[in-house]
Each structure stands twice: as C-alpha cells, then as structure tokens.
Structure 1
Amino acid sequence: MRLIGPVAVAVWLALGSGPAAPRPPSPIPVPVVPATGILDRVPVAALEARLRPADLVFRRGNGLWSGYFAVASGDEGFYSHVGVAVFEGGQWRVVHTEADDRSGIGGVRSDSLAEFLAGARGVAVVRPALNGPQAEATVRLAAAPDWRGIPFDRRFSLDDGGQAMYCTEWVQALVLSATGVDIARPRSRFGGRAIISVDDLRLGPGAVPVLEHRL
C-alpha cells in the first residue's frame, strides 16, 4: 500500500510520536585501513641484512612526481628514486637528494632505510661494479660536506657544471668522482635532452641485482 498526501503525513506523525516509534539504525563505522607500503610486506631488518656499503637503493615512491620520474626512468617505468647505502651512526642509512614536490627546493639528506622506504611501493638494491676500496671511497665522499651541501636541481639539467644535481645525477657523479668509474649506461633522452635515468643506474654496466620487492 502506498500512502500519499495528508493521510501519509498523519500516519508518519502517529508513528513518530508513539512509545514504540522505530528509530533509524546507527551508522556502521567504517574501519580506516592504513596505506600499504613495501615495509608492511618485507621487514626492514631483512633488507638491511643484504646491504653492503655503496649499494644503490631504489624505491618507487608515492609522491606527486613519482609516476613522472618512473616513466622517465626508462625500460620498465617503475622505480622513481635512488640513493647510496652507507653504514652511519651504527645503522644503515641512505644518502640521497630530493626536493619538496611543490616548491622544487631541496638537497642531499641521510635517512634511515626505514625512513627512505616509508610508504614506498617497491624496493630494489643493486651492487655497482666497484671493488672494496672503491666502495669505501664512495662512502667517504658521500659524507663530505661539499657533496652533502649540493642543492637539488629542479631544472634537471646536466649542463650546469654540477652546481645543482637531481637524484640520479648526484649518485652517478659521486661514484665517478670517488672512483673514476661511470656506473651509468649511456645517457637516456627524455623531452629531447640527455638525462641520467633511474634505470641507467639500476641496469648500469656490471651492476649486480641484490634484491627486489614490489607490491
């Protein structure tokens, strides 16, 4: 039966004023599910156990520009950022350069491995073709104030004499300056100009894959 007009209003008022008037059901709370990152699948201790000084640590981030950098990275278009593993202050850390997503202002920083991978959707570790003394020289130079003080290159240019550097440029230049070894493939091109892409380092000459996990 369908009630309309004044009759419907009268019935509604009668039901609403009675002692046994039905009440609307309480809303069912919706649980908040935290965003899943790679460290929810792989313990950071398991990753640290595989590291050696001067290893390259890659991540797929979730920042505003991560997808753009992943596409620019080349072959697979997955990883978006890279840094150098160092054992510093009694813990494994990653030295890398990055900038604020919106302002483009940033520089070199040292983060614990857990901080570096927080919220990341993937991680890979690659061991560049360096001998022991070369790896040690790379780690020493990564701690030098001159190298830690280089600002982030928001123009993504290889033609500024190293006055500013983006993440892959900093890693490649660091290893080259410390050892004389160029660990990158021949330069990729993106947007009509030469760049050092993420995969130029990940798939560089003599690079040995150590581990990889993706969501």
Structure 2
Amino acid sequence: MSAVIKNPEMRKITVILLTNLFLCSCEIKNDQKTMTPGIPPHKKITLKSNPNQSVDSAKSFLYSGCIVLRRGNDVISSMFAQLNKSDASFSHCGIAFREQNQWMVYHSIGGEDNPDEKLRREPFESFVGQDHNYGFGVCAYPLKETEVESLHRLMKKWHGLGIRFDMKFDLSTNDRLYCAEMLYKAFNHVTNRDDCFETTLHQGFRYVSTDNLFTNKASKMLCRINY
C-alpha cells in the first residue's frame, strides 16, 4: 500500500487517513503480543553481505503468480505497515511474472515516484531495491496453471487500462485499486472465489492489509530478506 507522497495537499489527506487508521489499529494491538519491527529472518535463505547477492538468491524462489512484498523505508510506508493486524513486516505488495527472460512485478502505487498513479510494471530488482526498502519477501499462494495464466492476462489488462491507485482506500469500488486491494480482487477473480484472503474490519472501515495476504492459512512465505 505504500506510496511516497510529496504533493502537500494529497500528502495531508493521506496522512490524516492513515493516522486515523493507525490509531484505530493500535486499539486492536493493545491486547496482542508486541510485533517485532522489521523483517524477521527466514530459515530458507541466509542474508548475504552483498544486497545484490540477496536479491539474486531470492529470484530462485520466484515463479509466475507469486506475491512479492516489501517494507519501504519512508514514513508513509511505516504507517501502512502498522495497519497490519498481526505482522508489520511489509508495507507494499505486487505480483511477479516472468516476461521475456526477466522477472517483472505488477503493483498499484501512487505518490511522487508514480505521479500518474497508474498500475505499474517494473523489474523485480527495482521493486525490492535497497535504496527505498528495509527488506522484502516472496510468498506463494496455491493457484492452478490456468489460474496463473488468467492472473497474468488480468494484470496485463489492468496495466493496459491504466487502473489508478486508490487514495481513498475504498474496497467497495473497482475503478481504482490500492496495492493489497489489487491482489485481493485479482486472486478472487481468477479463482472464482471471494475468500482467497481475509479482510480487516475496524470501526466500520474494511480494508485489505499486506498481512492479510501472507498470514492466511493457504499462503506460504518462501523467503524474507533484511537489508
């Protein structure tokens, strides 16, 4: 869900919304165990001293249709991460596909780095880059081969349509999508289901957080990398 927002008015609106959600989410967490900040190590991969080697190692876990998560190193990303109910490891997400011998990630993001707010397609290395992230992870969700193909077609379609980032974080609309909402609706669409992932509801506001995607019983974390 993360976005680096530098436009003063839009940043103000977004910060107000996030602050309200953040304060509400804190009420949920008061009765839960304290979440450890950052990204915990994963037994399946060891962090190398060279970040580029870590990224290359993580590629061995990628397959078309897998979920790629990251933890941005800006303030807005930190607020997004804290909206997670059970695990604050990640703030943003996308879907990876192998295209022309390169791993590409489709994701929805707004802000100064993507001023037109249209659904973005970028190389995996750029998506998880150390310059703007504390770390990243790769997550598997079980899909049939035909569903992966449908998911890829859907991402290409939405990318071609220029679906924009949803600054209102309104789960009831489909003309704009924030990052976790995009994954939530895409996976439900290609599986013809409505329960691939849970949603978070607090004080009448329903949203999809990044931990809704990777902590559910069907998902499997394949690797986590700390920079």
TM-score class, shorter-chain normalisation, is: 0.7 to 0.9
- Secondary structure of the residue aligned to 2:62 is coil
In the alignment, structure 1 residue 88 sits paired with structure 2 residue 99: yes
Moved more, 77-86 or 105-114: 105-114
Aligned match of 1:200 in 195, 202, 212? 212
Over the residues paired in the alignment, what is the CA RMSD in angstroms? 2.4
User: Match for 1:128: what amino acid?
Assistant: Y
Equivalent positions of 1:27-176 (< 5 A) are 40=51, 42-100=53-111, 106-118=117-129, 119=131, 120-145=133-158, 148-160=161-173, 162-176=174-188
Rounded to whole Å, the distance in 2 between the matches of 1:87 and 1:113 is 10
1:46, CA displacement in angstroms?
A: 1.2
Deviations 1:32-71 (A, max 9, x none): xxxxxx9727432211121111000000012341011000
Moved more, 197-206 or 175-184: 175-184
Aligned match of 2:190 in 178, 181, 201? 178
Rounded to whole Å, the distance in 1 between the matches of 2:85 and 2:115 is 22
Structure 2: tracts of 5 or more residues without a match: 1-48
Rounded to whole Å, the distance in 2 between the matches of 1:211 and 1:71 is 21
Given that residues 119 and 158 in structure 2 are in contact (C-alpha distance below 8 angstroms), is that contact kept between their aligned partners in structure 1?
Answer: no
Identity of aligned residues (%): 24
Higher helix share: 2
Q: Which is higher, the Rg of structure 1 or of structure 2?
A: 1
TM-score (norm 2): 0.70
Aligned to 2:22: none
- Secondary structure of the residue aligned to 2:119 is strand
1:102, CA displacement in angstroms?
A: 9.6
- The size of the alignment, in residue pairs, is 176
Structure 1: tracts of 5 or more residues without a match: 1-37
1:78, CA displacement in angstroms?
A: 2.2
Higher relative contact order (CA 8 A, sep 6+): 2
